Amino acid sequence: MKLAAHEPAEVLLPFGTLLRHYRLTAGLTQDELADRANLSSRGISDLERGARRAPHPQTLRQLSTALGLADDEEAVLVTAGRRTQPSRVADDTSTAVSKSQAKRLQTPSWVAIAAAVVVVLLGVGALMVPRATSPVATSTAPTTWTSPAANGPLVLADSFAEPASGLFSSQQAGTSQASFSDGTSNTYQWDVGYAYSALVAHALGPYPANPDSAWLAGMIGLDRQLPRNFAVQVRARATRSLEVSAYGLAVQFGPDQQYQFDVAPDDQRFRLTQIAEQAPLATDRSGWILMDSHVNTLRMEVRDDTLRLLANGHELATLQPTGLAARQAGTLSLRWAMTGQPTDRNQVEVRFADLQVYALP
């Protein structure tokens, strides 16, 4: 077949082909993607084979987050999933990739067309073109794909959709006090509970004047012990006062050994602290942390003397804190925080979903 010499305006690619391409580029099996996206392996297989068409918008969001797609990649995948009219090339799960998107894929358009034709005519399972350039981190934080450790058995899980069977108390509220370096202090309120198929948490304003730009945090703990080596992950997003919101995970192994992993999506910053008053063990900015109200999948892995932090499947930091190898049995908490004056209803709101805890081999 002879291709036209000029560069065409679009390349038609099936949704299943795109999904498989992104999955293979991320180094995931169908089972691993299903686990990350909280979907079934059969569902992933059906989507890639084209047996299931026009996936639900929530399914598209879960897949994009699980794959850690850049914004342009997510837009292409979502467009493919929403397209229902018959395609000129294959079936009704195709999408149009613009010339600018083809350039971001760093492949000449004629190569992309040839690959698409091979896929359609020969049934090849993946489009062999490079993935779009990764989000650029604003510092020296790791920006390469690093697959999480293989999961062992799932030991705890909460979708937050059913309060009656949830792991946490259904409704909690409290008052906390923050002390600042100038000798002043401030009392603030927080609450958390099951709602909207999520665990919805608030930190209530007003935000006080203070020299430390302190984070005013709320926390809800799980009264169950963690395995010695484990991975914990949760999906979370800010839904009110996004520019002053933060959220994360904390694990505690004794009265003086608590590790708090938080992200502030507004400026794509993360930090790991052990005691709030001390300097962070790690802090940086990363393009893998999604901004605004996008869902971020946060993961902490603890194995022997090593602690690993990931966002959306990408490694942010790996540390070996003093005393971690000799830790006691651990417990888990979810965290949320107000980092400045809230602008929406005088509160920060964070929603958590799909908590999973695995024993690591």
Tell me the torsion sign for CA atoms 350, 356, 357, 358. Answer: negative
Q: Which amino acid does the sequence have at 114?
A: A
CA angle 346/348/351 to nearest 5° reads 145
Task: Give 11's DSSP letter.
Answer: E
95-153 per-position pLDDT tens digit? 333 333 443 334 344 334 344 433 333 333 333 333 333 333 333 333 334 445 567 89
DSSP H helices, 27-68, are 30-37, 41-49, 57-67
230-240 per-position pLDDT tens digit? 999 999 999 99
Listed residue (12, 7, 68) closest to 37, CA to CA: 68
Task: Give 97's DSSP letter.
Answer: E
Per this entry, what is the length of the chain?
Answer: 361
Contact between residue 201 and residue 192 where contact means Cβ atoms under 8 Å apart: yes
β-bridge mates for residue 358, sequence order: 154, 231
Listed residue (139, 97, 142, 134) closest to 116, CA to CA: 97
Q: What predicted TM-score, i.e. pTM, was given to this entire model?
A: 0.63
For the record, the structure tokens of 103 come out as 């350039």
Full pLDDT tens readout for the chain, 361 residues: 333 333 333 335 788 888 988 888 887 888 888 888 888 888 888 898 888 777 888 888 889 888 888 877 888 888 888 764 333 333 333 333 333 344 333 434 433 434 443 333 333 333 333 333 333 333 333 333 444 556 789 999 999 988 988 999 889 999 999 999 999 999 999 999 999 889 999 999 999 999 999 999 999 999 899 999 999 999 999 999 999 999 999 999 988 899 999 999 999 999 999 876 678 999 999 999 999 889 999 999 999 999 999 999 999 999 999 999 999 999 999 999 999 999 999 999 999 999 999 999 8
For the record, the structure tokens of 27 come out as 């180094």
Listed residue (139, 200, 208) closest to 173, CA to CA: 200
**Other beta carbons within 10 Å of 135:** 19
Reduced to 3 DSSP states, what percent helix, strand and coil does the chain have, rounded to the nearest 5?
25, 35, 40
For the record, the structure tokens of 17 come out as 């082909």
**Other beta carbons within 10 Å of 91:** 14
Q: Give the SS3 label for residue 342.
A: coil
Domains of the chain: 10-122 (1.10.260.40), 154-359 (2.60.120.560)
**Gap between the Cα atoms of 344 and 348, Å rounded:** 7
